[in-house]
Amino acid sequence: MAIDLTSLLAHEMAALLRSGSTSSRALTEAHLAVAERQNHALNAWLLIDREGALRQADAADARIAAARRDGLDGVAGLAALHPLHGIPVGLKDLISVEGGQCTAGSRILAGYRAPYDAHIVERLRAVGAVFLGKTNMDEFAMGSSNEYSAYGPVSNPWDLDTVPGGSSGGSAAAVAAHHVPLSLGTDTGGSIRQPAALCGIVGMKPTYGRVSRYGIVAFASSLDQIGPFARDARDAAALLHAVAGRDARDSTSAPVSVPDELLHLAASDDEAASWLRGKRFGLPREYFVAGMDPDVERRIREGVAFLEDAGARVEDVSLPHTDYGLATYYIVAPAEASANLARYDGVRYGLSRRLEGGDFIADYLATRGEGFGAEVKRRIMLGTYALSAGYYDAFYLKAQKVRTLIKRDFDEVFASGIDALVAPTSPSVAFRFGARTADPVAMYLSDACTLPVNMAGLPGISIPCGLSEGLPVGLQLIGPAWSELMLFRAARAFEGLTAAASWSGMPPTHLAASNDGAGPTPADRAAALATLAAAALVAPR
């Protein structure tokens, strides 16, 4: 019976590669075919690099053949290969790949070509991964729905009329739709975990400093962190293992060792679940925010019950400064964005609008006015205001003090003996296009359960825990600094506990509809929904 290569998990693909049952070229061609066929309907990719991907796949196959010739029956040589060798990976389009595009989802970087590889790209090249292309994203990673991309929104493969979450929506949708088994995103306030939850996959935000930011387009430098998407915990752990580690070019990259145990999570569901016995989890009451979808809360509490049934202790805890997290984040992040985006001046990068008369200031304003989208302009203005004379102490400095209190809350809970926190990832499931774009505050509330983790610099992971009205719900696990291995073990244990659930491993329900290359694009769907919403507003009562 022929195997659908794109339905396999990355570690299953790796086993086939080592056994000689398939090749990296075959894997890459299968994924390219699906991505190219479905991108019209999903818009998950800003670049699909067929030629480059096949070239890398052939190189991976050559290395596998050479490894098979080494050692006793080739076992020793094959064992030395990283589990990601020959496996397709998607890269969020703010990651620099030498000679390739790096738009960060913005018109202002149209035409820009990266002059060097990001640190994580160097790491992936070293282990033999195959880059399928660059994924869509909210402009400069500012958004929670992927509706703020200058290149059009992304559809969620579970329901093409809904968003995949953001800002790493393209990376999440590509993994959920089986275009790639693995992808990388960035998480500034939830931009990995929230789209992972809305798309029904695994997504981790590592400890700040675990992965080098060298070669990544910056949004908010004290918050940004690179992390993996996958369809199960073992694959996500292997991707983190490949990209994590100290990099002297990034002063915030920590000299903390990367545990090789990330490559050896339990294969057996029963063995994985047994790890939970005796573990203590905290359930923070503040994460069940006002306005949370009641069905989402039910799925989370069902997930908590699974943990308790497996022998874990779940205790109510309090993180009292959580309620200030949203306001604090939306002072700190825009302030850092205002500083980071000042470099886009029409001279050094991408788009340039040169007006007659040689007036540099006029050129500068024209370039930024045309190149930046509305959400980016909004955040630049907020950040510039918060940093301006007379307001710095009242806003930015006070926000940094509150940030310290948010981190102290986490420290005190973990110091009490709690191993990890369990909480919702998102207060709702995927919402329809246009449902929140007219109300920025409602959009910002999408990250209410995720952004405190960024403020504290801690690791967090989102894992699927069921469906609400046919759409995925994500369970979030949060640990102390450098506890990624523990979080992956907990995530793998939860997978083992829920392996028999009807939703476990279920493919997105709208994948078949994504194959229609002549149907509406996500932009078409968004426009149609906007028209319906406008008509409803003016309809007679």
| Residues whose CB is less than 8 angstroms from the CB of residue 161 and which lie 6 or more positions away in sequence, other chains included | 155, 432, 433, 525, 529
The pLDDT score that the predictor gives to residue 537 is 65
The pLDDT score that the predictor gives to residue 290 is 79
State the average pLDDT for the chain.
Answer: 94
Q: In terms of C-beta distances under 8 Å and separation of at least 24 residues, what long-range contacts does 469-472 make, across chains too?
A: 469/295, 469/429, 470/158, 470/159, 470/509, 471/156, 471/158, 471/159, 471/162, 471/198, 471/429, 471/430, 472/158, 472/197, 472/198, 472/199, 472/200, 472/429, 472/430, 472/503
- Give the β-pairing of 460-468 and 202-205: antiparallel
How many CB atoms sit inside 10 A of residue 361's CB?
7
pLDDT classification of 540: cutoffs 50, 70, 90: low
Report the distance separating Cα 91 and Cα 341, nearest Å. Answer: 21
The pLDDT score that the predictor gives to residue 356 is 61
The pLDDT score that the predictor gives to residue 77 is 82
pLDDT classification of 209: cutoffs 50, 70, 90: very high
Sheet with 88-92, side-by-side order of all strands: 45-48, 130-135, 88-92, 182-186, 226-230, 202-205, 460-468, 471-478, 420-424, 280-284, 313-317
pLDDT classification of 539: cutoffs 50, 70, 90: low
pLDDT digits 0-9 by tens, 55-114 = 999 999 999 999 988 765 566 789 889 999 999 999 999 999 999 999 999 999 999 999
pLDDT digits 0-9 by tens, 6-64 = 999 999 999 999 999 999 999 999 999 999 999 999 999 999 999 999 999 999 999 99
Residue 293, pLDDT above cutoff 70: yes
Contact of 334 with 301, CB cutoff 8 Å? no
The pLDDT score that the predictor gives to residue 357 is 67
For 237-301, give the DSSP string: HHHHHHH-S--TT-TT----PPPGGGG---SSHHHHHHTTTT-EEEEEGGGS-TT--HHHHHHHH
Q: What is the mean pLDDT of residues 187-211?
A: 98
Q: Which residue in 535, 526, 538, 527 sits closest to 146, CA to CA?
A: 526
Q: Which residue in 235, 174, 178, 163 sits closest to 202, CA to CA?
A: 235
The pLDDT score that the predictor gives to residue 541 is 57
pLDDT digits 0-9 by tens, 445-490 = 788 899 999 999 999 999 999 999 999 999 999 999 999 999 999 9
pLDDT digits 0-9 by tens, 128-148 = 999 999 999 999 999 999 999
Pick from 74-78, 166-170, 508-512: least confident? 74-78
Phi, psi of 159 (to 5 degrees): -160, 110
pLDDT digits 0-9 by tens, 227-273 = 999 999 999 999 999 999 999 999 999 999 999 999 999 999 999 99
Could you list the active site residues? Answer: 92, 167, 191
pLDDT digits 0-9 by tens, 371-428 = 999 999 999 999 999 999 888 999 999 999 999 999 999 999 999 999 999 999 999 9
Fold of 9-267+281-324+403-515: Amidase signature (AS) enzymes (3.90.1300)
pLDDT classification of 183: cutoffs 50, 70, 90: very high
Residue 158, pLDDT above cutoff 60: yes
